[in-house]
Structure 1
């Protein structure tokens, strides 16, 4: 079922991608969507205020194991997305997924297979998958 949804999405992208079908167009649109995601998050901090970034140097004990490292790492993020910022960010992430699927289509890759392969690496290597 999960592969069906992913495959349907990838097929729908193939049907809808008309204007920006060149690999150059897709690459630059994918990069643009990354920028728009970054901008949406920044605006949730600087314009809306629903999120706050409180960044500082990570304090990591010298004798900590790799397995326990995540308990000492901070996201530097406080608050939660308001409904409006959530909607904007979901839209931008959707656009990003669209162009990611378009890139897969142009390169004859199956997006679901990419997900499965990455998931297998994560579940096999766990925290040692530091790529």
Structure 2
């Protein structure tokens, strides 16, 4: 991704994104369309990740039972694995980013339709994470 575009994008906030979504959402304005589009893009994200493993091979999954025998939460955090090996190639990364972007679009559309502020949700979740820290355990 072009570094100039990347720097510009860091200045976009959730409220601006939600407002832009509201301005451009025409065809799938119905709540029914929005929630089914969220499901569709969730599946497309999953498919893109799986294709990175099965078609491209830039990443692989080596899943094993997680061991929860650590004495402290910090040790436990360090010992748990993502089961991913390798790195996404540029093509796969771009595809996954594209699908996540579309998902975020419909998530913002859902918030707008329900008159919920996406920024407030993000800030509340951040505050919960900050307050509870490791004890949030998601």
Q: Is the 8 A contact 1:3 1:112 kept in 2?
A: no
Q: 2:67 aligns with which of 59, 73, 76?
A: 59
Q: 2:129 aligns with which of 108, 111, 122?
A: 122
Are residues 88 and 4 of structure 1, via their aligned partners in 2, closer, same or farther at CA, if it must alter by over 3 Å?
Answer: closer
**Whole-Å separation in 1 of the counterparts to 2:61 and 2:11:** 36
Displacement of 1:41: 0.2
Cα offsets for 1:20-71 (capped at 9, x unmatched): 111111111001111000000000000000000000111221x523343111
Q: Which residue of 2 aligns with 1:84?
A: 91
CA distance in 2, matches of 1:73, 1:59: 7
2-11 or 34-43: bigger deviation = 2-11
Partner of 1:36: 44
For residues 63-92 of structure 1, the C-alpha deviation after alignment (integer angstroms, 9 at most, x for no partner) is 523343111101000011100001101100
Structure 1 residue 8: Cα displacement: 1.5
Q: Which runs of 5+ in 1 are unaligned?
A: none
Say whether 1:106 aligns with 2:113: yes
> How many residues get paired?
129
Task: Give the secondary-structure state (helix, strand or coil) at the position aligned to 1:52.
Answer: strand
Q: Distance in 1 between matches of 2:12 and 2:73?
A: 37
Range 88-97 or range 16-25, more displaced: 16-25
